[in-house]
Amino acid sequence: MTHLAYVAAAYAAAFLTVAGLVLWVWLDGRARRRELAILEAAGIRRRSAGEAK
Amino acid sequence: MTALLFRDLKLAVRAGGGAMIGVLFFMTVVAVIPFGVGPDLNLLARIGPAILWIGALLAALLGLDRLFQAEREDGSLDLLLMQETPLVLTVLVKCLAHWLATGLPLVLASPLLSLFMNMDAAAIGATMLTLLVGTPAITFIGAAGAAIAVALPRGGLLVSILVLPLAIPVLIFGVSAVYAAVQEPAPFLPPFLFLTALTLVFAVIGPVAAAAALRASTD
Amino acid sequence: MSEQSLAIRKFSDLANPTRFLALSGAVWPWMAAATALFFAVGLYLCFATVGDYQQGETVRIMYVHVPAAWLSMMCYSVMALSALGTLVWRHPLADVSAKTAAPIGACFTFIALVTGSLWGKPMWGTWWVWDARLTSVFVLFLMYLGLIALNRAVDDPARAAKVGAILILVGFVNIPIIKFSVDWWNTLHQPASVIRLDGPAIDPEFLRPLLVMAIAFTLLFFTLHIVAMRNEILRRRVSTLRRLAARSAGRGTSGPVPAGVGEGHP
């Protein structure tokens, strides 16, 4: 009556989902920053640093 | 406003309008069910009201994406937005026209299909009555979805996905009212009154949200 | 607009994306650290406490399931608030917030559904019960997916924000109705006689890890939400810059634009 497999599966599923979410957010942020860096390197800048979009 | 009502009605009934397609779709869905669950008449009589309601729900959603799309294409949507009558009222009238053209035929076709389902007289009457009260709610809440879909290049399928979860309460109370009418101990009136209340609430929420979405999608 | 200080004095100061980036950049590492801390303590408590005599080890699933279910609802409330921000106050960050919250909320709802199902199999003997609570959470999940699909279908972010906000609010008004009708439907169809955790008073033994895990999950949500919002702001910045580059390339004023940059916004 311990059902350890179910507990493990529940924790694994929760962990995988959260890990996927964190990974997605992190990779997304890295890709966006790289794109910005490329654009900056190409000399395309925002008209002023403090300008609201 | 009456002019708009009649114009929409004429457009729907004319060839190429969606009115008859909805009824045909309804009949086809209901006719397909027995092939899935088997021709057992007792079983069909038991699940008949539910099948009719689901069929009506799907059929009512079918024509909804055209509610504002045609106006959008020929530009008359901008005229509707600019005229002096409040947009909410215009949307309400368009919903009424749409319901008269597609919802009412569904209600009228339901007794015939009930016979196929081997339902008795009380169940047929109750189904017809609940569909009469309930289908406007689907049209109203669907109008909000249709207005949202105007902004999309291909909105048709998305409207159904967005609207179906919101239409669950209508389905629940509609079907449970029918079952309450047939099965003796359960009272018919409470679920039926809830269904009526839902229709009235959606008659407010739907047009307001649809008007807001139409404004957002054009500017 | 001079940038003498990046301090946030009023709530409306948050409307400036640059200030938001600066503030959130300072805050989110701390929040991430707090999240990790609470998760460490919470997970330790989860497995240190004894199992319930009735539910056995499966009670530990609750420590993940309940916070996830709670977050699935809180996330929708955050989105509804953001939707109000978009429509009423026209707060420029509100639509960013609403858009980025949707996938996170969908993930937590997914966790709640999966763990609930895994709890139901040993406890009720079935993976899924058309129980009022499960059904309404499932409907909520469908609504999240619909919102994500809508956001993906509209390519203009401003228009997607407004249209999405309307849909969020319509859904928010509908949630109590759906909950109520599902309750009604459930009592009509099957008298629920399942064992629930909330039936008897919860023992403090179980309450403590539950509470810590709830805080940990809430912190996790806000950390992820803030970082995702930063990403979304950067994404919009990139697309603006690309548009800018394409325009100046069209006019031929700023010389040749490197390949892969000047092709306009996606």
* Residue ranges per structural domain of chain A: 1-43
Bin C97: left if φ > 0, else alpha if -120 < ψ < 50, else beta.
Answer: alpha
Q: Domain containing B142: what range?
A: 2-218
Nearest CA in chain A to C123: A3
Closest CA to B39 of B116, B124, B123, B121: B116
The answer for residues whose C-beta is within 8 angstroms of residue C256's C-beta and 6 or more apart is C249
Q: What is the mean pLDDT of the segment spanning B111-128?
A: 82
- CB-count exposure of residue C51 (10 Å: 0-12, 13-18, 19+): middle
Domain-located, residue C256? no
Q: Are C66 and C105 in contact (CB under 8 A)?
A: no
The contacts of residue B72 (CB under 8 Å, 6+ apart) are B150
Give the pLDDT band of residue C257 (cuts 50, 70, 90): very low
Complex ipTM value: 0.76
Average pLDDT over every residue of C198-203: 52
CA distance C232 to C24: 13
Residue C164 lies inside a defined structural domain of this protein: yes
Rounded to a whole number of angstroms, the distance from the CA of C184 to the nearest CA of chain B is 8
Is C2 inside a domain boundary?
no
Residues ≥6 apart with Cβ < 8 Å to B166: B141, B145, C170, C171, C174, C178
pLDDT class of C192 with cuts at 50, 70, 90: very low
User: What 3-state class would DSSP assign to C52?
Assistant: strand
Question: Residue B34: how many CB atoms within 10 A of its CB?
Answer: 17
Q: Would you say residue C138 lies in a domain?
A: yes
Q: Confidence band (pLDDT; 50, 70, 90) for C2?
A: very low
Contact C230 A29 (CB under 8 A): yes
- Please give the full DSSP string across C189-223, using - where no structure is assigned: H-------TTSSPPPHHHHHHHHHHHHHHHHHHHH
Lowest-confidence pick of B7-21, C108-122, C152-166, C234-248: B7-21
Q: Is residue C104 part of a domain?
A: yes
Domain that holds residue C160: 16-189+205-245
For C147, the token pair is 């919102």
pTM for the model: 0.78
pLDDT at C3: 41
Contact yes or no for C132/C182 (Cβ under 8 A) = yes
Cα Rg, chain B, nearest whole Å: 18
Q: Evaluate if residue B63 carries a pLDDT over 80.
A: no
Structure token digits, residue B183? 């099965």
Band of residue B154 on the pLDDT scale cut at 50, 70, 90: low
pLDDT of residue B8: 72
Nearest to B65 by CA among B206, B134, B163, B165: B163
For residue C232, pLDDT over 60 is answered with yes
Give domain status of residue C253, yes or no.
Answer: no
Whether B177 contacts B193, CB under 8 Å:
no
pLDDT of residue B170: 87
Confidence grade of residue B155 (pLDDT, cut at 50, 70, 90): low
Q: Which residues of C touch B201 (CB under 8 A)?
A: 177
Residues lower than pLDDT 50 in chain A: 1, 49-53
C105 Cβ contact partners less than 8 Å away, ≥ 6 residues apart: C71, C72, C75, C76, C79, C144
Q: Is the pLDDT of residue C203 over 80?
A: no
| The pLDDT value given to residue C14 | 63
What domain count does chain B have?
1
- Would an 8 Å CB–CB cutoff place B168 in contact with chain C? yes
pLDDT at B93: 84
Which of C166, C180, C182 is closest, CB to CB, to B212? Answer: C166
Q: Which chains touch B (3 or more CB pairs under 8 A)?
A: C
Task: Locate C113 and state its tokens.
Answer: 């559904």
Residue C264 DSSP SS3? coil
**Tokens coding C149:** 């699909």
Instruction: Specify the residue for token string 């394409």.
Output: C246
- The mean pLDDT value of chain C amounts to 76
**Spatial CB neighbours of C183, under 8 Å, sequence gap ≥ 6:** C132
If you ran DSSP here, which 8-state letter would residue C14 be given? G
Q: What is the pLDDT of residue A50?
A: 43
* Interface check C88 vs B, CB under 8 A: no
- Number of independent structural domains in chain C: 1
Residues C184, B191: C-beta atoms closer than 8 Å: yes
Out of C16, C111, C220, whose CB is closest to A52?
C16
Whether pLDDT at C105 is above 70: yes
- pLDDT mean over B120-149: 86
Q: What pLDDT, in 10s, does the model give residues B7-61?
A: 777 766 665 556 677 888 888 888 888 888 877 778 888 888 888 888 888 888 8
- Tracing tokens 């949630």 back to the chain, one arrives at C175
Q: What is the pLDDT of residue C214?
A: 87
| Rounded Cα–Cα distance for residues B52 and B43 (Å) | 14
Chain-chain contact of C111 with A13 (C-beta, under 8 angstroms): yes
Q: What is the predicted pLDDT for the residue at C1?
A: 39
| Tokens encoding C222 | 């806000």
Instruction: Count how many pairs of residues, chain B against chain C, have C-beta atoms within 8 Å.
Output: 85
R_g of chain C, CA atoms, integer Å: 23
> Can you read off the two tokens belonging to residue B79?
């005229």
